[in-house]
Chain A
Amino acid sequence: MSRPSILTLTSQVLRDPQAVVVAHDTPADLGWLAPRLLAISGVGAALFGAVVGSYRGGEQVLYAAMKLPILLWAPPLLALPAIHAAWRACDVEVSYRRLAVASLAGMARAGVLVSALAPILWLPYSVEVEYHFSVLLFAGMLVLAGLPGLTAIAGAIPAGGHRRWIAATGSLALIGLLLAQTGWLLRPFVARPTTAVALLRPVEGDILSGLGTTLTSSLGLYGDWDAGRDGLLAREPR
């Protein structure tokens, strides 16, 4: 069987990700496909990341371009074992390989779509919109591009089984939770122009405390943020 070029593969992933999943069902296929799909999603996400980093400019462009692909890759990869087990619990037999190919195709689809959204993001960033609005725009576009990626994964699940809605809801909640925490760990993506550039912030707080602070700040209620350091990797400041 002749292998498609990377451009053809990109087109296939956008048009019909299920066809990619069905056509690549052997271990050899996975070995050939995985690096290509990761490269497609990585390049797309990095382009988007560079635009996100352009809000602050300078080294932040490079940092955000490096981190965005990880944000796209980590949640599905971490959630894959639980998603596989949840569908199996509902008597839907789907192989790890099929689920892995579908996840990779979904990530590639989201990566390409998010890169297409980059110019739309750049436009308001270029006129220096307010910081909180720029963060919302960034998050909104990630969700917008991420949903078609998730449909690629959902489409790989065979019909049948019982209580499918539980597995579907659980899978979606798990990926959402992991996306939120991974985004929290890899922050900052959008940095204020006045702040110092940093690749990563220290491990502190969590996404829930961050959201709570953002909510109260957006209501004009500013206070001290208690950066609880409870994780194993968290360190007390010196």
Chain B
Amino acid sequence: MSVSNPALALPTSVALALPLPTSVELARAIAGYALLGGVAALGAGEAAVSHAPVGLVSAVGALALTVPALLVAHPFLTLRAAPQALVAAIARPFTRTGDVALGLVPTLLLFRATSGLAQLLLALMLVGAAGLGFSLAIRNLVQTEADASEDSWSVWKMTLLAWAWSGLAALIGARLGIGVLLDL
């Protein structure tokens, strides 16, 4: 069956500009978010132990709850990029910001050992990592669509979709993080 409207044609081949992350990269990112929360809770008593997964829950939870919605909205808006390419465009910033979280562990450890600023810094670090991750994810998503589509209208739609997705993911991530901290 031939498809006369090119907007309705399914992507036939998937050439990923960005590779999907390896299991090692994913594990390192998860370890980064988990350790960052763990360090902030170190030696702070029983109540703080339940707060340790705040980084991991907000980062992984926000993606798990919003990426499927993005994958549904994307073809609904007749955009052309392949779902695998979209997942790669989001997964790469997640693994890279997880590395940043892992790199921030020594700094947070210093502050946890010598001051009462660790919780405040943890919040700032998570917000910073999220900001970096969303900024890179939006750029990757728009670039992925630009590679797959030829018309500027699709790129414009993808830009709006990427911003809407990142706004939703940020709100859900914040809700999950606050939920962990306040035991909601």
Contacts and interface: CB of A to CB of B under 8 A. Distances in A.
The binding surface of chain A is classed by DSSP as helix
Interface in B104-148: 104-107, 110-117, 121, 128, 131-133, 135-136, 139
Given A82-B104, A231-B114, A233-B113, A89 B93 contact: yes
A207 to B, nearest CB: 8
B102 interface: yes
Contact of B136 (A78, A89, A185, A205): A89
Contacts of A230: 115-116
How big is chain B's contact interface, by range?
A: 20 to 34
The binding surface of chain B is classed by DSSP as helix
Given A82-B104, A174-B107, A230-B115, A88 B99 contact: yes
B115 A81 contact: no
B132 A82 contact: no
Contact of B103 (A84, A166, A177): A84
Interface string A160-189: 001100110010001001100110010000
Interface string A68-96: 00000000001111111110111000000
A79 B115 CA distance: 18
Interface of A: 78-86, 88-90, 162-163, 166-167, 170, 174, 177-178, 181-182, 185, 203, 205-208, 228, 230-234
Given A82-B106, A185-B114, A233-B113, 20 more contacts: A81-B105, A82-B107, A86-B100, A86-B132, A89-B96, A89-B132, A89-B136, A162-B136, A163-B135, A166-B131, A166-B132, A174-B107, A181-B110, A181-B111, A203-B113, A206-B115, A206-B116, A228-B116, A230-B115, A232-B42
